Chains A and B, each alone.
Chain A
Amino acid sequence: MSKPLISVRGLTKVFGDFTAVDGIDFDVAKGESFGLLGPNGAGKSTTMRILAATSTRTSGTVEILDKDPEKFGPLVRAHLGIVPQEDNLDGELTVTENLYIYGRYFGLSKKFIKAKIEELLEFAQLEEKRDVKVQALSGGMKRRLTIARGLVSEPDILLLDEPTTGLDPQARHILWDRLFRLKEQGVTLVLTTHFMDEAEQLCDRLVVMDKGAIMAEGSPQGLIKEYSSKEVLEVRFGSDRNKEVAPQLAQMCERMETLPDRLLMYTEDGEKLLEQIAAAKMHPTTSLVRRSSLEDVFLRLTGRTLIE
């Protein structure tokens, strides 16, 4: 295996008496799509800022293309495309002007950027909005433009912090499609998310983070296989009865999680389990058989759900 593009060892960031990132290790290989999955406050964004060379670390080592971002900030930033969580497009400028001036910040020539803009407008599906001021764009368009802007400098690595938070489902799917294309072109993606479906869609490999630490690492499928069963049966008996029937149900499956509104029963065959429950003369008000997801992995690892 060739040397990783990003190598992080024992990374720790302390703010006052709060430890935001607590000694994490991971590598990202060239062309890989790597995710940091975890709830808000898990330390994902702090980690991203350190990778982006815009924040210092308390201890540990970070190497991006063999360079320490703290010592070679500008050079490391020249390798990166940044897509921050909050929209920080230049509100006083138009779509093309945003792309143009951002390229200029990297010192790129006007000629180079002008050619690049056409390519990026097409990628972001914003050809018709080229001379529109960015304030007039929808949330999804803004996010696509922010990604396009991050690509002006032809970065080796694209860092995306919560790329689809705040977008409606349709805009999310368009964005996923765009990111998938980048992945196919071999762009190395590093993204944070608290959406398990996003992590499953986009990441080749991910780490599950909670309270500044890495709880598990692997491919989405690998993690599900390791930490959960094939299927999940979700049953509801009404909020009062859920607790009452829980002990009896727990004996019928491999593992069970009791959530305030429903019971999650982990099993290899959800339909069969549902038949058993019916045979035991217990009648849930609603039931649903589904495949295990990263949400279940997170629940198993932390005892909590991703979105609280």
Chain B
Amino acid sequence: MSAAVDIAEKNKSSAMYAGRPQVLLERGWLAFRSSNWVPVITGFVEPVLFLLAFGYGMGTLVGDVTTGSTTIDYTLFIAPGLLANSAMNGAIYDSTWNVFWKLNESKLYKTMLSTPLGPLDIALGEITWALIRGLVYSLGFLTVVTALGLTPSFWAILAIPAASLVAFGFASFGMAITSFFKTYQQMGFINIVLLPMTLFSGSLYPISVYPDWLEKVIMALPLWHAIEMVRAFWFGNLTSGVLVHIGYFLVMIALGLYVTSRRLRALFLR
């Protein structure tokens, strides 16, 4: 009996999961180390540019911001919001465009599914890869922010697990959505949603400036939850509302994983 069969026998591999999502990370690393670094750097630089332009540019005009009972410097206000944005950007980059390419152009997932790997291995592996990217982006951003003296206390380090949750949620959901898209035009839809969400979800100003109805719409969007969650950890304002944000992301992760693995199965194993 060959080693491959021996492994498959021992695993009692189910149709959905062979228990090897880590080989996707290994593959991701092999491809990444020889890839073009430009998009990686721009993804990281974007929130830093926002911080400089809005924080130090606009910030001098704005002065302080009052949310609830606290009043803080504008640059300090936007930093955690942009950290959440950074985590989202990193996760979305891999889980949408890169996944689209592997689904429709290079047929990488189809090839993987002709081996003992299952759809859940692919979903978990790719989402974890996107999550790592999101995490690296947010770590980079946190480093810049700390260097600028904008971290309020040591507890801001807790914003990193929060940012990981954000990256995980967006990676999972992003891949699920992408699995339904067949053309580049449809992929453009993702940008149409992302740009306004980025601008209006309260990273640059408190959403209390909106009329009531709009505030409610924004509060339904994932980025608002991401920003509020990261901000809560950033300033150590841990209220019960944080649990709602965490719950929102846990649902997003579970839903994304479920839909992605089902879609991969429907697309390639039928």
Q: A-side interface residues toward B, CB under 8 Å?
A: 52-56, 73-75, 77-79, 82, 84, 86, 88, 90-93, 97, 100-102, 104-109, 112, 133, 153-156
Contact B116 A154 (CB under 8 A): no
Query: What's the nearest-Cβ distance from chain A to residue B250, in Å?
Result: 29
| Count, A-B residue pairs, CB within 8 A | 113
Knowing A74-B118, A107-B11, the reply to whether A90 touches B111 (Cβ < 8 A) is yes
Of B2, B13, B18, the contact of A154 (CB 8 Å cutoff): B2
Q: Can you list 9 contacts pairing A with B, beta carbon distance less than 8 Å?
A: A55-B269, A74-B116, A75-B13, A78-B116, A93-B31, A100-B30, A106-B116, A108-B7, A109-B3
Knowing A74-B18, A77-B116, A88-B110, the reply to whether A112 touches B3 (Cβ < 8 A) is yes
Contact A105 B115 (CB under 8 A): yes
Chain B residues within 8 Å of chain A by Cβ, number: 35
Of B14, B114, B116, the contact of A107 (CB 8 Å cutoff): B116
Tell me, yes or no, whether B26 is within 8 Å of chain A by CB. Answer: yes
Bound state CA distance, A119 and B169, in angstroms? 43
Query: What's the nearest-Cβ distance from chain B to residue A200, in Å?
Result: 28
Cβ–Cβ < 8 Å partners of A100 in chain B: 30
Query: What's the nearest-Cβ distance from chain B to residue A65, in Å?
Result: 9
Contact B106 A105 (CB under 8 A): no
Knowing A74-B13, A74-B116, A82-B114, the reply to whether A154 touches B26 (Cβ < 8 A) is no
Tell me, yes or no, whether B107 is within 8 Å of chain A by CB. Answer: yes
Cβ–Cβ < 8 Å partners of A155 in chain B: 2, 4
Tell me, yes or no, whether B216 is within 8 Å of chain A by CB. Answer: no
Bound state CA distance, A153 and B5, in angstroms? 8
Query: What's the nearest-Cβ distance from chain B to residue A100, in Å?
Result: 8
What secondary structure prevails in chain A residues at the interface with B?
A: loop
Contact A90 B106 (CB under 8 A): yes
Q: A92-B35, A105-B112 are in contact. List 19 more A-B contacts (CB 8 A).
A: A54-B269, A55-B270, A74-B8, A75-B13, A78-B4, A78-B13, A79-B4, A86-B107, A88-B107, A88-B108, A88-B110, A90-B27, A90-B31, A100-B30, A104-B26, A104-B27, A107-B23, A108-B4, A112-B3
Q: Annotate B34-50 by CB proximity to A: 1 below 8 A, 0 otherwise.
A: 11000000000000000
Contact A106 B268 (CB under 8 A): no
Can you list the 6 inter-chain pairs with the closest CB atoms, starting with the nearest? A78-B8, A74-B13, A153-B4, A92-B31, A74-B116, A154-B2
Nearest A residue to B112, CB-CB:
A105
Knowing A74-B14, A88-B111, the reply to whether A106 touches B4 (Cβ < 8 A) is yes
Of B26, B34, B114, the contact of A84 (CB 8 Å cutoff): B114
Cβ–Cβ < 8 Å partners of B158 in chain A: none
Cβ–Cβ < 8 Å partners of B263 in chain A: none
Knowing A52-B114, A78-B8, A106-B7, the reply to whether A101 touches B27 (Cβ < 8 A) is yes
Query: What's the nearest-Cβ distance from chain B to residue A50, in Å?
Result: 11
Tell me, yes or no, whether B20 is within 8 Å of chain A by CB. Answer: yes
Knowing A55-B270, A74-B18, A92-B31, the reply to whether A154 touches B114 (Cβ < 8 A) is no
Query: What's the nearest-Cβ distance from chain A to residue B129, in Å?
Result: 13
Tell me, yes or no, whether B113 is within 8 Å of chain A by CB. Answer: yes
Q: Annotate B10-33 by CB proximity to A: 1 below 8 A, 0 otherwise.
A: 010111001010010011001100
Tell me, yes or no, whether B9 is within 8 Å of chain A by CB. Answer: yes
Bound state CA distance, A18 and B118, in angstroms? 29
Tell me, yes or no, whether B175 is within 8 Å of chain A by CB. Answer: no
Bound state CA distance, A90 and B270, in angstroms? 23
Contact A73 B15 (CB under 8 A): yes
Knowing A104-B23, A108-B3, the reply to whether A75 touches B9 (Cβ < 8 A) is yes
Of A86, A90, A92, A107, the contact of B7 (CB 8 Å cutoff): A107
Contact B115 A106 (CB under 8 A): yes
Cβ–Cβ < 8 Å partners of A73 in chain B: 15, 269
Cβ–Cβ < 8 Å partners of B117 in chain A: 74, 105
Bound state CA distance, A168 and B15, in angstroms? 39
Knowing A93-B31, A105-B116, A106-B116, the reply to whether A78 touches B5 (Cβ < 8 A) is yes
Knowing A54-B269, A105-B112, the reply to whether A79 touches B23 (Cβ < 8 A) is no
Knowing A92-B35, A101-B30, A105-B112, the reply to whether A74 touches B15 (Cβ < 8 A) is yes
Nearest B residue to A92, CB-CB:
B31
